[in-house]
Amino acid sequence: MSRRHTKPLTNNRLRGLLREWSKTGNPVTKSDGDGLTFTVSKNGYAAWILRYGRAGRRRELTIGPYPDITLETARKHARVHRARISQGVDVAEEKKRELREARDGLTVRQLADDYIEVNLSAKRPSTAKLYGRYIRKWVVPKLGSIHAAKVTPSDIVAMLEAAKDHGAGALRTLHAATRNIFKHAQGKRKIDVNPAVGIALDSIIARPPRRKGIALQGEHLGTFLKALPDNPSGWAFRLHLITGVRPSEVLEASWKEFSLGSDKALWSLPEERTKTGQAFKIRLPRQAVEILRKLKFTTGASQYLFPAAYGDRDRPIPYQTYRGRLRALLASLGDNFPRIKAHDLRRTMRTGLSKLKVRYEVAERAINHKLPSMAEIYERNEYEDERYNALALWADHLDQLESANRGSKTRVPKLSR
């Protein structure tokens, strides 16, 4: 920039300019040279301003107030800013952007609240509850006071390290929830880089051996059916096994989802309760209807098929309770019986449909799976009649397996090696 041949200011001259303003009340502007300017506004605010040109336009950067910033300090700031201007930096615009980011920036606590309200609330209730719990227990206490744009991967690793005693599964969930919060921030243009991406959990905690899912078949399945109690717990397992739905879909089922007409019985799962995010209808076989009629007589006072036994409000049975009842049932069957999990009942049903020669696309639709690749885009057949016939065939098969064991002592077959 061109140097103005201006007589430099002195401390005495600055004091004289302030006295001049106090007498007249008129604004004051005096240059110290090279764009550094001392100003006093009409209301008496004294400040240093650096004036410079960029792209043919005059620009101004406020350095700060006088006398907080002395003449000597103002000149030092001006030299630093001039060097950056010579490198092509628009220092005035840069300062405006920093002020705007400071004003509009969010702390992680504010960002997490916004993510929960805007994004997480639209997910399935079970996912919202799980992620929300981890966010409130770990993310907010550990990172909540930090400006979202200032969070580093090291901050997130430190949080994960503190949580590793809860196991690899908990750590994966915490990492996923944290990653989604900062992805939300990227979408709002609050940050440019997601600090939770690229963190290797294997470096924090050893990954446990991947569990291979189990599908009960033959004698094992017959033994399991025979062991089911004739009460709501047993009916829950049986309905789960007949329909092949996901655990949360059976546990959180409410009576308003069912239509038990004389012609056909339907279970209509709303879109907010399915993993696919699409409503799903199941035409129920006779055996499922019989379970529902017994449940209506037993638990019909609740809005849920399987209400929680404790608490002062009507709510569905917790998954932990369901899982505990399954473990107790397995314990009664002895160490030789496969240690299935709740989701394995769904896997058992899907495997059983294949064993019964049900067509692949019908079996996949029966458990509300999307078809692979382009088939999902072009295949619009919901196979309602075929799915009903498949479920009826499966339910009859379960009856036959149970009847084969009825009247004999419960014998647990040895696990195949």
**CATH topology for the 218-405 domain:** hpI Integrase; Chain A (1.10.443)
In this predicted structure, what is the pLDDT of residue 28?
A: 92
Superfamily of domain 11-104: Integrase, DNA-binding domain (3.30.160.390)
In this predicted structure, what is the pLDDT of residue 127?
A: 80
In this predicted structure, what is the pLDDT of residue 75?
A: 95
In this predicted structure, what is the pLDDT of residue 399?
A: 94
Contact 273, 252 (CB under 8 A): yes
Residue range 103-136, pLDDT digits in tens: 666 889 999 999 998 888 777 777 888 899 999 9
In this predicted structure, what is the pLDDT of residue 406?
A: 62
123 DSSP 8-state letter: S
Residue 47 phi/psi, 5° resolution? -155, 160
Residue range 269-323, pLDDT digits in tens: 998 888 888 889 999 999 999 999 999 999 888 999 999 988 778 999 999 999 9
Q: Which residues of the chain have pLDDT under 50?
A: 1-4, 377, 410, 412-417
In this predicted structure, what is the pLDDT of residue 7?
A: 84
Note whether 11-104 and 108-203 share their fold: no
Going from N- to C-terminal start, the domains of the chain cover 11-104, 108-203, 218-405
Spatial separation of the C-alpha atoms in residues 86 and 27, rounded to whole Å: 30
Spatial separation of the C-alpha atoms in residues 378 and 112, rounded to whole Å: 39
In this predicted structure, what is the pLDDT of residue 205?
A: 84
In this predicted structure, what is the pLDDT of residue 408?
A: 52
In this predicted structure, what is the pLDDT of residue 417?
A: 31
In this predicted structure, what is the pLDDT of residue 183?
A: 94
Q: Are strands 258-260 and 265-269 parallel, antiparallel or unpaired?
A: antiparallel
- CATH assignment, 108-203: 1.10.150.130
Report residue 151 as tokens: 């969070």
* Burial letters 303-325, b for 16+ CB under 10 A, else e: ebbbbeeeeeeeebbebebbeeb
Residues 6+ apart with CB under 8 A from 172: 201
* Burial letters 94-107, b for 16+ CB under 10 A, else e: eeeeeeeeeeeebb
In this predicted structure, what is the pLDDT of residue 101?
A: 63
In this predicted structure, what is the pLDDT of residue 154?
A: 94
